[in-house]
Amino acid sequence: MNTATTIDDALTAPAGASSAASPTSTGAASSTGPSPAAATASVTTPRITTPAMKPAARKRSFKLSRKLRQRMLSAIAIVSMFALWELACIVFNISGLILPRPSAIFAVLLEKGPLLWPHAMQTLYTTITGFALGVLAGVVIGMIIGSSRFAYDVAYPLLVGFSSIPKVAVVPIFVVWFGAGTVPAILTSMVICTFPVVVNVATGLAHTEPELQDVLKVLGARKLDILWNVGLPRALPYLFASLKIAITLAFVGTVLSETVAANKGIGNVMIIASGNFDVPLVFAGLFILAAMGIMLYVISSLVEQRVTGWAARGNEVAMG
């Protein structure tokens, strides 16, 4: 139970921080959709799969079937949303230029699939590269800030100020420096996803129990020993909680930059398509983005569960 709250806190902390700070990133984050819904899902799942709980076999099968039922329900919800959309378009006779029917969008996806594929790959590549760099930077900065009061005091205001700059405003600068194309997209997604990682890693490090630090210090442990043996493992669940947010933000950064200055990528396709009033293609791009966003989110939360399974029960020990 404690984990749920901790991870929840960790989730809301950076999200809250960036929402206070940067209107662009939050607006975009909430428009990506999957984050809040999937967040609750991933918080509840470890509770069910915790190995230490050892529920009776009957109980487990019941829980499994409940999980299955949940899955089915959400599948039904998605399908019926599309059906409703389709129906509404027909009933109200909505023009394909305003809101194309899902069937038309899927048709475009099938038809233009081979053409869209390289663009999707470009977006994916940019996002993952930016994400990796952003997380790396975030972990390093977070470690420095989280383990030194001085660094925290000096760097934190700077970071908040930096992250409160709307990222759209940064893209033109990157374009001036590096020219239009992949580099500004990577940099934008890197910059946009660093902050939540920094906040979470720093929070995780700060959560190291002072008594435990004392136990180690008395042994003559160096700062690096404590960081390595206690701080980093303790910060790991926080880090992974932030990865889920970071990956969606990285995605936002990529598409943002692609729509402004690029000749490749889904964002670019969508901007060109909307210039040509090819609305179904715009929506097809949207669908691809949503699918990729969900995929990346699911991957990062699966990794989280694997790596920090101990946190599902561990925090109770820390409290007790």
Partner 1 sequence: MNQPFIDLRDVTVRFGAADSETSTLALDRTDLRIDTGDFVALVGPSGCGKSTILKLIGGLLSPSSGGVIVDGREVGGPHRTRIGLAFQNPTMLPWLTVRENVMMPLKIVEPFRQHYRAKKKGEYAERADALLAQVGLTGMGDKRPWQLSGGMLQRASLCRALVHEPQLLLLDEPFGALDQFTREELWGTMQNLWMTQRPTVLLVTHDLREAAYLATRICVMSARPGRILEERNVEFPRPRSIEMSYAPECAELVQALRLRIAEARSDLSPRTTEPSVSLVGAEKEAA
Q: Which residues bind partner 1 (CB under 8 A)?
A: 52, 209, 211-212, 214-221, 225, 229-230, 233, 310-311, 313-318, 320
Decide whether 52 or 169 has the Cβ nearer to partner 1. Answer: 52
Nearest distance from residue 226's CB to partner 1, in Å? 9
Tokens of 285: 């791009």
State how far the Cα of 217 lies from the Cα of 224, in Å rounded to an integer: 11
Question: Least CB distance from residue 310 to partner 1, whole Å?
Answer: 4
d(CA 248, CA 2): 25
CB-wise, 69 or 149, nearer to partner 1?
149
Alpha-carbon distance of 11 to 246, in angstroms, equals 11
The closest of 308, 303, 288, 302 to 127, measured between CA atoms, is: 288
Cβ neighbours for 184, distance < 8 A, ≥ 6 positions apart: 171, 174, 175, 177, 178, 257, 261, 262
Nearest approach, Cβ of residue 304 and partner 1 (Å): 14
- What's the CA angle centered on 34, arms 29 and 40, to 5 degrees? 105
Q: Which two tokens stand for residue 227?
A: 């960081």
CB closer to partner 1, 175 vs 230 = 230
Would you say 298 and 151 are in contact if contact means Cβ atoms under 8 Å apart?
no
Among residues 253 and 314, whose Cβ is nearest to partner 1? Answer: 314
Closest CB 318 distance from partner 1, rounded Å: 7
Q: How is residue 156 written in tokens?
A: 């934190």
- The 10 Å Cβ neighbour count of residue 181 is 17
Q: How far is the CB of 315 from partner 1 (least distance, A)?
A: 7
Q: Which residue has the tokens 């089915």?
A: 72
Smaller CB distance to partner 1: residue 259 or 315?
A: 315
Burial class (CB in 10 A: 0-12, 13-18, 19+), 320: exposed
Q: Minimal distance in Å, beta carbon 319 to partner 1?
A: 9
Shortest Å, Cβ 302 to partner 1: 19
Between 3 and 188, CB nearer to partner 1: 3
The three-class DSSP label of residue 98 is coil
Q: Cβ 69 to partner 1, closest distance in Å?
A: 30
Q: What's the token pair of residue 55?
A: 């529920």
Beta carbon nearer to partner 1, 168 or 221: 221
Integer Cα distance of 109 and 103 in angstroms? 10
User: Token pair of 318, please?
Assistant: 């820390």
Shorter beta-carbon distance to partner 1: residue 230 or 289: 230
Q: Is 132:197 a contact under the CB 8 Å cutoff? A: no
